[in-house]
Amino acid sequence: MPSDKPLVYVLLGSAGSGRREVLADLIDGGLGADARPAVLLAADEPASPSDKKFPGLARWTRADGIIAAPLPYEATHVFFVTDGRADPVDQIEQVKTWLEGQGGALARILCVVDCRLAEKNPPLLAWFDACIHFADVVLLNRREGVANKWLSGFARRYADQFYPCLFEPVKAGRVKNPALVLEPQALRMSHLFDEEPDWVFTDADGGEVDEEDAEEGDEEIEAAPEEDPYLVRDAAGRRAKRIPDIKKYLS
C-alpha cells in the first residue's frame, strides 16, 4: 500500500459490543512507537471512558448516504468506528465511496462480536453474517457466561463455509496478538474493496458462463463487474439479502 496514505481500518459491530475498549488495546499494543493513530467515531455513538485514550479523536457524520469526514492525512493509521445501531451493509457501501473520494487505503475491516447478544438472539445471526462477510478479522468479545458449545459452533459455521477471515478471542478487552489483527492483509470473503474486481460473463439468455468459455465461444457474451451479494437490490430497490434491524435487539 502507498506509504503516503494512512492505513484505514473499519470497525464493525453492535453498539455496546466493546469495540472502543478493544480498539484502545489494539492501538496500544499493535502499533509501533512512530505510529500516529487517529480515530473517527460515528456521531451517534455515545461517549465512552475509552475515548480519552484515543489521540486525534473526531466524529464523522452522514447525510443522504454520504459520509462527511476529512481523512486525517497526518495520521499513519485511521480507525473508522461505524454506527453500531445502523445498517452495517449501508455503511460499508458508503465507506467505500468515502475512501475513494478521500484517497484512503483500506487496511482491514474488523468485526467485534458481542457473543452474549448473539447467543441470546438467534435471529441476529443474519446480521452477524453480513458483518463477517466483509470482515478480515472477527473478534469474539463478551464471551463470559456464553456456552463453549455455542462459541465453537459459531466459529465453525464460517469455517465450514471456507471463510478466509481470522477468528480471535477477546479477554478483558484485550487480544492475544494486536499486531496480527492489524496486519494489512485482506482476508475477507467480500471482493468489494478489491483493486481489480472479479468479472461475471453472461450469454444472450442471461445465463452465467465461465470466463474460459466466454473467450473461446462464438456467441455474444456480456461482461460486468461482479456485484457483492449484500449490495444486490431487487426490482423494488430493496436489498435482496435482508438483515435484521439491530436497534430492535439493543437496550
In this structure, is residue 206 part of a structural domain?
A: no
In this structure, is residue 251 part of a structural domain?
A: no
Q: Which residues of 186-211 are buried (b: 16+ CB within 10 A; e: fewer)?
A: bebbbebbeeeeeeebeeeeeeebee
Say which amino acid occupies 34: D
Cα-based distances in Å from 118 to 12, 121, 154, 208: 14, 5, 9, 36
Listed range (142-146, 187-191, 197-201) with the worst mean pLDDT = 197-201
In this structure, is residue 43 part of a structural domain?
A: yes
The answer to whether the predicted template modeling score (pTM) of the entire model surpasses 0.85 is yes
Q: What's the mean per-residue pLDDT of the chain?
A: 91
Cα-based distances in Å from 147 to 118, 120, 144, 151, 176: 12, 11, 9, 6, 21
State which H helix or E strand residue 12 sits in: strand 7-13
Q: Is the pLDDT of residue 147 over 80?
A: yes
In this structure, is residue 199 part of a structural domain?
A: no
- pLDDT of 202: 59
Q: Quote the domain boundaries for residue 59.
A: 7-192
Listed range (35-44, 116-125, 189-198) with the worst mean pLDDT = 189-198
Taken in order 105, 87, 175, 47, the sign of the CA dihedral is positive
Who has greater pLDDT, 216 or 181? 181
- pLDDT of 144: 96
Q: What is the DSSP letter of 47?
A: P
All residues at 6 or more sequence positions from 81 whose CB lies less than 8 Å from its CB, including other chains: 11, 19, 20, 23, 39, 40, 41, 42, 45
Percent with pLDDT over 90 in the chain: 78
Q: Is the pLDDT of residue 43 over 60?
A: yes
9, 71 Cβ separation under 8 angstroms: no
Number of domains into which the chain is organized: 1
Q: Is the pLDDT of residue 152 over 50?
A: yes
188, 165 Cβ separation under 8 angstroms: yes
Could you tell me the CATH number of the domain that includes residue 64? 3.40.50.300
In this structure, is residue 139 part of a structural domain?
A: yes
In this structure, is residue 227 part of a structural domain?
A: no
- pLDDT of 196: 75
41, 51 Cβ separation under 8 angstroms: yes
Phi, psi (deg, nearest 5) at residue 178: -60, -40
In this structure, is residue 117 part of a structural domain?
A: yes
All residues at 6 or more sequence positions from 74 whose CB lies less than 8 Å from its CB, including other chains: 36, 38
In this structure, is residue 202 part of a structural domain?
A: no
Split at pLDDT 50, 70, 90, the class of 212 is low
